Amino acid sequence: MGSNGTILRTTDGGNNWVNQTSGTTNALFGVSFTDINHGTGVGDYGTILRTTDGGANWVSQTSGTTNALNSVSFTDANNGTAVSWYGVIIRTTDGGANWVLQRSGTGEFLYGVSFTDANNGTAVGEDGTILRTTNGGIRWFHQASGTTNFLWGVSFADANNGIAVGAEGTILRTTDGGNTWVSQISGTTQSLIGASLIGANAGATVGFLGTILHTANGGTTWVSQSSAVTILSLEDVSFSDANNGTAVGDFGTIVRTTNAGRTWVSQTSGTSNAFLGVSFTDASNGTAVGEFGTILRTTDGGNNWFPQASGTGADLWGVSFADADHGTAVGYGGTILTTTDGGSQLGKSIKRDLRSSNRGFSDGCQYWNSYGRGRHNPQNNPWR
C-alpha cells in the first residue's frame, strides 16, 4: 500500500506483488454482487467502482453526485440503485455505464436500499422516511412509516414482505410491498442497524449493546436473545436460510443461530477488533470483515474461524459473496479486496495475534487481492 492510490496485487500468496492503480482513495460503504463476475462498490464523494471480471479489474463510473453513496442494491448485472444524502437516488439499467438521477421527492438523508427485482425497491432514511418504487424508480412515492426515528436498514424477502429497522428499537413490517407499514414491539430502545429477512416469516435484526431480535412468524412477535450471549454492539447479520444466521460486532463478537434465532451461541473469533460486515452463502461458508483489515473465514458454520491475509490495515465495512469462493470486501480509503478461492486454504489454524502491527499471514492462507489503499482513522467512519 502506498500514496497516490497505489494498489498491490498478488496471485501467488504474496511471493510477488504487482502495482495497480485504484483510481480512488475515497471510503467505500457498500458493495453488491449479482454473480461471481459482476459487482459494484459505492462510497464517499459519489464514488462508484465496477467490476465485470470478479474484481480482477475495477473501473470508476460517473455517478453524477459528490454526495456520499451509503448503500447500493443490484438485482442483476444491469439494474442497480444507490442512495445518498439529501434524497439523492441514482439508477442504472446498463451495468453502470450510465447512472441517472431519479426524482425521490424528499431531501432527507437515505441510508438503506433493497430491491427484489428490477422494478420493486424500497429506500429508507432519516425522520422515518420510506420511499417505494414499483417501476425501477421512474416514480418514487412516500410511504407512511408512522415514525420519525432514523431508519438505518431495510430488507425484503420478496416484492411484498419486508422489514425496516432503526433508532430506539424501531421495527416496521410490511406484507403488501409497503402500502401499509406496521410498527412492531421490539422490546428494546437500542438502535437497530442490520436486518435480514428470509422468506415471509423468518427474520432477525441486530444493534447496539448486543441487541439481537428474531421472529419466526413474520414479525408478529420479536424475541430477544441479547442478554444471553453478549452486551456488545452488533453491526451486521447474515442469514443463509430460515434457520442459520450469524451476527458480528464490537471487540471481535460473533454469535450464531441454527434454529431461526430462537437461541444464539457465542463463537470464538480470536480477535478483539470490531467486525463491521458478514456474509454467508450457505449454512457452512461465511466471512466476517472489520477493523484494521481483519478478515475471518469459516467453512463449518463458525465452529472454527480462521484469520485470512487481507494485505491492508484499512477498516473493512462491507462484504459480499456470490458463492462460497467468490467474494469482495470494501472499506476505508477506497479499499477493495477480492477473492476467487474463498480467501484461504483452511487446512490449519493460524496462531497469530490480529491486533499486532503485522497483520499479514503466510502460513495456511492463499490470498485476498487488494485493490485499494488506506489506513484506519475512526474519524472517517461516521456511520457506526
CA 37 to chain centre: 18
Q: Cell numbers 442469514 correspond to what residue? A: 239
pLDDT at 8: 36
CB burial readout 316-344, b (16+ within 10 A) else e: bbbbbbbebebbbbbbbbbbbbbbbebbb
Residues 275-316: pLDDT tens digits? 988 988 899 998 898 888 888 889 899 999 988 877 788 888
Q: Are 154 and 112 in contact (CB under 8 A)?
A: yes
Tell me, what's the pLDDT at 94? Answer: 92
Q: Output the pLDDT for position 255.
A: 87
> How many whole angstroms separate alpha carbon 179 and alpha carbon 177?
6
- Spans of the chain, pLDDT less than 50: 1-22, 227, 344-384
Residue 86 per-residue DSSP state: G
